[in-house]
Amino acid sequence: MQVLSVTSECVPLIKTGGLADVAGALPGALAPFGVTMRTLLPGYPVVMGMVKDARPVARFDNCFGGPADLLAATVAGLDLLILDAPHLYDRPAGPYLNQSGVDWVDNPERFAALSWAASEIANGAIKDWQPDLVHAHDWQGGLAPYYIARSGAAGRVRTVLTIHNIAFQGLAPASKIAALRLDPADFHADALEYWGQISALKAGLVFADKLTTVSPTYAEELMTPEFGMGLQGVLRDRRADFTGILNGIDDEVWSPASDAEVKTYKAPKGKGPNKQRLREEFGLAEAGGPLCVVVSRLTEQKGLDLLLQALPTLIGRGGQLALLGSGDPWLEDAFRRAAGPNVGIRIGYDEALSHRMIAGGDAILVPSRFEPCGLTQLYGLRYGTLPLVALTGGLADTVIPATPASIGAQVATGVQFYPVSAEALSNALNKLCDLYEQPESWAKMQRNAMGQAVGWDQSAARYAALYDSLMTKR
């Protein structure tokens, strides 16, 4: 089976969040199931800088404001197709925001071009290769199922859209209908229109053959007003075609047995040297409570404003916090002010340091208000760093909460809290400290966590089965 993955970011070339990890992992995870996946990616400067020996396979003379070349290349084992359109992608700063941290004004055209290129590929733009199925990711790929359907290729090339975070919907003013090569007749509530605007994500939700999101619980949440961001009705209408498939992690990259950043490791004893090194890096003294870590974007979605309010509870119980992240300026400033003898803060991102933090921490905190899947709690499980998580989305699906029943059955892997409030988080931190003061129970939970399957095997099998179900309907 030949599959084209359409994504705006992909590890190891460009990353702002979990989408990149998934896009980078899926080709290798699906290969054992007979799926050959090529990844279509914008030609950002950082991507072009990593590509060697690229060869042109197609030319688009009018690609949303200028010419573009479609290049084939291989990077880190990934079979890539790169849309080299300098007028759209050859810019400083990140993939979505300018140097002032504001969305590029032509983002609708930039990612419509990516989706349109996917449709052209589906219709034979590459001389000797054509996909059986196009798998689009988030709003940036959301118009691909629409363009494919309107090109007449829908019966021959099947489409899947995965929602990684419904909060980002790819909205554009209705005045851009012509510029985005959309049919004005489709601008209505049952197709492209979202409260008077064009929604690229909604287009994908309406026109893709199948829809997925990144955890079963998030799939259920998205069909409610609280989480659906105005698209819950569309998803309820498509319930029969909508499923949640958990993300996995690269369990070779995130492996305590072979991690170059980790000292000799076997939980719980392996925490000793790694924990000491982590304390030294963050300037933390010895303490009697758990050393908690946070590796996250600093946003309200991630519930980190709640952690600021609950932090005195952790410190009061002898616990400590080491935090690595960046995001909203006010949260960055608030955490800088919170730094002290038992609170170490690093603003920014450092991949190697994140490995050392998860190896050295006793617990990892993920108090998100909503979390489609989450990856850091999976890293924590892998390293015996017990997750303390909010009861939402993929956090609910991946952490077995410590209750009298689960502890008695010896299956608990972490702590969950609900509702998502500062008070509930404070209670959960107290519970975490109580558990930490019971060494045998804590060690058992660590072993449970490290024994949990967090790789891609099961999830890849579900994706492959979904693809197969579509192939039988062609």
Residues of the binding site: 15
Helix H, strand E, coil C: the string for the chain is CEEEEECCCECCCECCCHHHHHHHHHHHHHHHHCCEEEEEEECCHHHHHHCCCCEEEEEECCCCCCCEEEEEEEECCEEEEEEECHHHHCCCCCCCECCCCCECCCHHHHHHHHHHHHHHHHCCCCCCCCCCEEEEECHHHCHHHHHHHHHCCCCCCEEEEEECCCCCCCEEEHHHCCCCCCCHHHCCCCCCEECCEEEHHHHHHHHCCEEEECCHHHHHHCCCCCCCCCCHHHHHHCHHHEEECCCCCCCCCCCCCCCCCCCCCCCCCCHHHHHHHHHHHHCCCCCCCCEEEEEEEECCCCCHHHHHHHHHHHHHCCCEEEEEEEECHHHHHHHHHHCECCEEEEECCCHHHHHHHHHHCCEEEECCCCCCCCCHHHHHHHCCCEEEEECCHHHHHHCCECCHHHHHCCCCCEEEECCCCHHHHHHHHHHHHHHHCCHHHHHHHHHHHHCCCCCCHHHHHHHHHHHHHHHCCC
- How far apart CA 215 and CA 247 sit, in angstroms, is 7
Q: Between β-strands 68-75 and 55-60, what pairing exists: parallel, antiparallel or unpaired?
A: antiparallel
Q: Which residues pair with 39 in a beta bridge?
A: 5, 80
Q: Which residue ranges make up the annotated binding site for ADP-alpha-D-glucose?
A: 15
